[in-house]
Structure 1
Amino acid sequence: MSGLKLFHTNGGVTEVVPRLAEAEADVQGLVEAHMERLLGVRFLASEYGTGSVHGGRIDSLGLDENGAPVIVEYKRATDAGVINQGLFYLAWLMDHRAEFAHLVRDRLGATAASQILWSAPRLICVAGDFTRYDVHAVREHRHSIDLVRYRLFGDDLLGLETVASVTGAAAVAKGARRRAAGPTPVRGQGGALADLADAVDEVLLGLGDGVTRVQRKQYAAYQRLRNFACLCPPQQTKLLVYLKADPKAVELIPGFTRDVTGLGHHGTGDLEVRLRSERDVERAAELFRLSYAAA
């Protein structure tokens, strides 16, 4: 991984030299076996055929935490064609929605199939490296694309680094992207809670250059590669934010934070944060950062 060095510190300092996989299939097999944990994507199919007309095979198909269809393409090292190949399959996917929905229904059930977020299909490219031309190309596309660099360390360590991540809107500067992406469902309602929602939105988008927002009817999801926060519409006197921070690793404060592990709610994350004022947003800032780091 670019700029990252890993060392053993027992009995001195010994560098763990990074390496690439022996074959592309090794990377694909590892990610597919743990796709939800590594990418926040539920695995659907491997080497999925696109028929005689397109004549291709999609490396991996999946469905992300927000119900968006996901295509994952892998390359052992650097390959200038991985983005164009993925975009080719993304176009196929949008032309074969019924076929994909049938696959989701078979693997994940009718409810998941009925809630597919067709407005935000994603392409994730996992490769040994990317060029600056790849990064530039991604930012010029009107598609949701993530470039993820991998490295293997020693016998049992895997490193993933998001090199570039853009939302489905035109890829522009973060501030402009926020304005262009449109309102979250909590905006336009007037009053203090709408202003508070704007403040939360600004804080969450400002946590890193790779943060994107995905809009669903019930919540707005903020993600790096995976969701790290979900902001729900106002509930009378408060906003609810669900975070990926571990509830057992933080001090729970009655009326402010709650462990919702195993409890049904909109969005993803097991730590519920209740916000009623700008002061609460300030109090929650460290929890936002913890969740961002965990995603």
Structure 2
Amino acid sequence: MERPPRLICVAGDFTRYDAHAVREHRRSIDLVRYRYYGSDHVSLEMVVSVTGKSAAANRRTRRHAHMEAPQALQRQTDAMAELAVAADETLRGLGDVITRVQRKQYAAYQRRRNFACVIPPQQTKLLVYLKADPKSVDLTPGFTRDVTGLGHHGTGDLEVQLRTERDLERAQDLFRLSYAAA
């Protein structure tokens, strides 16, 4: 029986990221650390040893995992796509001179400048960042959040999380507030 190849990496030290990457590859990989003791002795220490599957087994596993995607997840994704379309219509309906600029990571809605940025839908929510002052809004956990000083795609310091059509209706006053500020 033929054994699959094994990669052995020998270095002075490894980071935790190296160990994590080895576990994610699903291949047979060993990380071995060496240490010098004086000028005559060297020790080798096994840091991580991962026994992976063969490439054919990996392809089979990936193919079956993809084919068994639950229908509930597909329905959820469709619902988020519909919510994104409804949010787009709502934001464009705020005025006559609104332009939508598609960026790599988000869609920006502009009057004279950006007043809203919509991140593509995730599995359970749609994120909208508004140019409204978070201090002037009653923040609701799970719905609105102050992201001042936090890194995120788009512009604006008020994050609105949309999960349902009802959330979109609740957010319309916030959308108008941001539009007026732009």
Question: Which aligned pairs between 1:91-102 and structure 2 lie closer than 5 A?
Answer: none
Partner of 1:171: none
Cα distance in 1 between the residues matched to 2:162 and 2:100: 19
Cα distance in 2 between the residues matched to 1:282 and 1:195: 14
What's the offset of the Cα at 1:265?
0.2
Question: Which aligned pairs between 1:78-97 and structure 2 lie closer than 5 A?
Answer: none
What's the offset of the Cα at 1:190?
5.7
TM-score, with length taken from structure 2? 0.58
Partner of 2:25: none
Question: Which aligned pairs between 1:97-136 and structure 2 lie closer than 5 A?
Answer: none
1:78-131 CA-to-partner distances (Å, cap 9, x unmatched) read xxxxxxxxxxxxxxxxxxxxxxxxxxxxxxxxxxxxxxxxxxxxxxxxxxxxxx
**Counterpart pick for 1:226 among 113, 116, 120:** 113
TM-score, with length taken from structure 1? 0.36
> Aligned to 1:237, what secondary structure does the other structure show?
coil
Are 1:275 and 2:162 counterparts?
Answer: yes
Are 1:207 and 2:94 counterparts?
Answer: yes
What percent of counterpart residues are identical? Answer: 80
1:150-182 CA-to-partner distances (Å, cap 9, x unmatched) read xxxxxxxxxxxxxxxxxxxxxxxxxxxxxxxxx
Partner of 1:147: none
Amino acid at match of 1:221: A
- Taking CA–CA contacts closer than 8 Å with sequence separation of 6 or more, which of the two structures ends up with the larger relative contact order? 2
**Counterpart pick for 1:246 among 116, 133, 141:** 133
Cα distance in 1 between the residues matched to 2:160 and 2:77: 22
Are 1:289 and 2:176 counterparts?
Answer: yes
Cα distance in 2 between the residues matched to 1:220 and 1:235: 14
Deviant stretches of 4+, over 4 Å: none
1:120-150 CA-to-partner distances (Å, cap 9, x unmatched) read xxxxxxxxxxxxxxxxxxxxxxxxxxxxxxx
Q: Which has the larger radius of gyration?
A: 2
Partner of 2:151: 264
> Aligned to 2:90, what secondary structure does the other structure show?
helix
For structure 2, the 5+ residue unaligned runs are 1-75
Are 1:197 and 2:84 counterparts?
Answer: yes
> Aligned to 1:192, what secondary structure does the other structure show?
helix
Cα distance in 2 between the residues matched to 1:210 and 1:290: 16
Cα distance in 2 between the residues matched to 1:261 and 1:280: 22
Cα distance in 1 between the residues matched to 2:89 and 2:77: 17
RMSD: 1.2
What's the offset of the Cα at 1:251?
0.1
Amino acid at match of 1:285: Q
> Aligned to 2:121, what secondary structure does the other structure show?
coil
1:11-48 CA-to-partner distances (Å, cap 9, x unmatched) read xxxxxxxxxxxxxxxxxxxxxxxxxxxxxxxxxxxxxx
